[in-house]
Amino acid sequence: MGAEKIAVIKDTGQRLKATEHLLRDLKALEIMLEKGMFEKDVQRIGAEQEIALIGNDWKPKPVLLKILDKIDDPRFTTEFAQFNMEINLDPLVFTGDCFSQLERSLWRLMVKGEKTARLFDAHLLLVGIVPTLHRSDIDLKNMTPFPRYKNLIDTLHEMRGDSFEFRIDGKDSWISRSEDSFFESSNTSFQVHYQVAPDDFVAAYNWALAICAPALACATNSPLLMGKRLWRETRIALFQQSTDVRSTFDQYRERAPRVSFGTGWVKKSVLDLFCDDASRHKLIFASTRDEDALQILEEGGVPNLYALCIHNGTVYNWNRACYGITDGKPHLRIENRILPAGPTIVDEVANAAFWLGMMKGMPVAYANISKQMDFDTARRNFDHAARQGLGANFYWAGSDKQVRSDELILKELLPIARVGLEKASILPADIDKLLGIIEERVSTSRTGSQWILDAFGKLGQQGSKDEALVAVTAGMSKRQQEGAPVHTWDLPGLDEAGHWKNRYWTIEQIMKTDLITATEDDPVQLVANMMFWRNIRHIPVENSQGELTGLVTCKHVMLYYSNQHKEGQNTPVKDIMAKNVTTVTPQTKTLDALKLMKDNDLGCLPVLFGDKLAGLVTERDFVAIVGEFLGEMVGGA
């Protein structure tokens, strides 16, 4: 969709015209399928590489447009956010050394992008979600300033009619709300394309649905969001929720989200998918190119099907059917959207080889997988893979018993992938190398997600949460550029976080977010006990909307008990709390906050995000920082 000339649909007239074009495109596609116009004598593969842009502080850096302006290469293109970028790789014939070519192309383009990014004190990072991503990054000021992105944001918000709500539960829980769908920009992926002949499409697409779960389970690389340990591939849940225009008013209706595993097995042809999406999902954009697909067919040409492709680009099925034209011949593709970016280029190419090998090697016994597996089972398997990675168990075709994901991959699917790659005449050395990486990764359970979680757990015991997140991101970047597959990586040290600015520059990096709070009507006696129980000296007071209304300190409680307390009296907190409280924001510089505390003789500063209480920073936090500074000075002496 990003490459098309599009306009947002604003009124009934535009919607009627756009719908007419879509219906004519669907009819044209039906005719093309009936006439056998699609390419069959060659099979190509392709890939799209999404990339996170991070600064020297290892945090997201919105320098996309500067990089694109300097790099001047059409293969590099925009993404939703200015701290992301995309590379469109050239399609390759699925045979011989295509995977070696893919790996070399990725390296050349990544090196080119990295050199350009460094001109702006930035780096390229391959990961599903950047560990150091903060809530303040998810701001529309960081959106790429192109009309189509703004229009998409506005249209999705209008369709939802309410704010977007998020809840993802894993080892931790993350709950949030946003007025827009910009959280979608947190995700980066490695999308793989597989060209399919029309006669083979139904069997291939249904097989792709069946193998989604194991393909994802061994490739997960986004277990953290905002410092929370969530799903092994949190990107899946976040993308689904950030574009879900359904609301609580739909509780009696079954409406399909725009990001979906699908609604059922494909039965007749690729046309089923396009018609289903046209039936379920409202048109958002229209093409500004006035193409009459049926007339072009009558004249012996090949239509671009602009209306169909644009609508297809706003429906994000995890396996997406695609129409395209290469060298004047139309073709069909299945776009695999489940795989995250990273951890390294060779890991990505191995993931692609595993999936493409399974697709090509589909056994005859599974050619009609819909007869052997319920669609809901395939969907549940995918959900379990996203949540648990290699820890998931699946129900597999032909069995009513669960099988461990690693057992399924090692004993059945890797051999199928090998057969498929051999059938495509892939170089034996490439088959051994790439499937060997999958085998080692699965045998050791060392996915990107596992490495991130192990590193975060280790570093979290040595420093603050933010220090750990910075060191994990820095360590990932360093090892990524070295290029060894993730299952061989060692864990990073806290020193990889680098300069103190990377760890303590803003309040967001040092504030406490696991807060003990009170309400205005809580009795002072309860607050005094809370301070004693938790060994704290400051308790923010908030209302039911999470807005700060006051602050109770140890001093307030001491004065109350020494001067005002009477036996049996139940005094509410609002009678003793400070009401005019000095606050800061997450983006306040740490030195500025320290000066504010010093100049005003304050022991703490509540942190507000908008009008909501987001965190608290106290003098103890600054003492801890000083302790680390002194430790580094002594260690470096």
Residues 45-71 have pLDDT tens digits of 999 999 999 999 999 999 999 999 999
CB 586 within 8 A of CB 607: yes
Task: State the pairing for strand pair 548-553/402-404.
Answer: unpaired
Kindly report, residue by residue over 302-350, the tens digit of the pLDDT: 999 999 999 999 999 999 999 999 999 999 999 999 999 999 999 999 9
Mean pLDDT for the chain overall? 92
Instruction: Encode pLDDT of 358-416 as tens digits.
Output: 999 999 999 999 999 999 999 999 999 999 999 999 999 988 899 999 999 999 999 99
The helix (H) or strand (E) run that includes residue 616 is strand 612-618
pLDDT value at 156 more than 90: no
Span 460-475, pLDDT tens digits: 998 888 889 999 999 9
Give residue 245's pLDDT band: very low, low, confident or very high (50, 70, 90). Answer: confident
Predicted confidence band of residue 3 (pLDDT cuts 50, 70, 90): very low
pLDDT-based confidence at 255, cuts 50/70/90? Answer: low
Instruction: Give the CA angle between residues 117, 129, 337 to the nearest 5°.
Output: 100
Name which residue leads in pLDDT, 218 or 6. Answer: 218
The pLDDT score that the predictor gives to residue 164 is 87
How many CB atoms are closer than 10 A to CB 265?
19
Burial grade of 249 (CB within 10 A; 0-12, 13-18, 19 or more): exposed
Name residue, tokens 């249904």. 206
CATH T-level topology, domain 508-636: CBS-domain (3.10.580)
CA distances from 204 to 198, 216, 242, 270, 336 (A): 10, 17, 29, 11, 12
Residue 62 to residue 59: CA distance in whole angstroms: 10
Q: What is the average per-residue pLDDT within 264-273? A: 96
- How many Cβ atoms from other residues are within 10 Å of residue 608's Cβ? 17
Do residues 341 and 51 lie in contact, with contact meaning Cβ atoms separated by under 8 Å? Answer: yes
- Lowest mean pLDDT across 141-145, 244-248, 605-609, 628-632: 628-632
6-444 architecture in CATH?
2-Layer Sandwich (3.30)
CA pair distance 302, 385, nearest whole angstrom: 40
pLDDT in tens, 534-565: 999 999 999 988 899 999 999 999 888 887 65
pLDDT at 1: 44
Q: Quick check: 191 and 106 in contact, CB under 8 A?
A: no
Q: What is the pLDDT of residue 556?
A: 92
d(CA 260, CA 244): 10
Bridge-partner residues for 455, per DSSP?
Answer: none
Query: Residue ranges of the domains in the chain?
Result: 6-444, 508-636
pLDDT at 200 over 90: yes
Strands 319-326 and 329-336: antiparallel
Cα–Cα distance for residue pair 104/98, rounded to 1 Å: 10
**How confident is the model at residue 507, as a pLDDT?**
84
- What whole-number percentage of the chain has pLDDT above 70? 94
pLDDT-above-90 percentage for the chain: 75
Does 637 have pLDDT greater than 50?
no
Cα-to-chain-centroid distance, residue 556 = 45
Confirm whether 6-444 and 508-636 share one CATH topology: no
Task: Give mean pLDDT, residues 470-491.
Answer: 96
Q: What mean pLDDT do residues 128-157 have? A: 92
Average pLDDT over every residue of 263-274: 96
Q: Are strands 316-317 and 259-260 parallel, antiparallel or unpaired?
A: parallel
**Which whole number is the average pLDDT over 203-228?**
98
Q: How far is CA 441 from CA 142, 157, 384, 389, 448, in A?
A: 36, 41, 19, 12, 9
How many CB atoms neighbour CB 537 within 10 A? Answer: 16
pLDDT (tens digit per residue) in 73-124: 999 999 999 999 999 999 999 999 999 999 999 999 999 999 999 999 999 9
Residues 584-605, mean pLDDT to the nearest whole number: 89
Q: With 50 as the cut, is the pLDDT of residue 430 above it?
A: yes
Q: Cα–Cα distance between 385 and 396 in angstroms, integer? A: 13
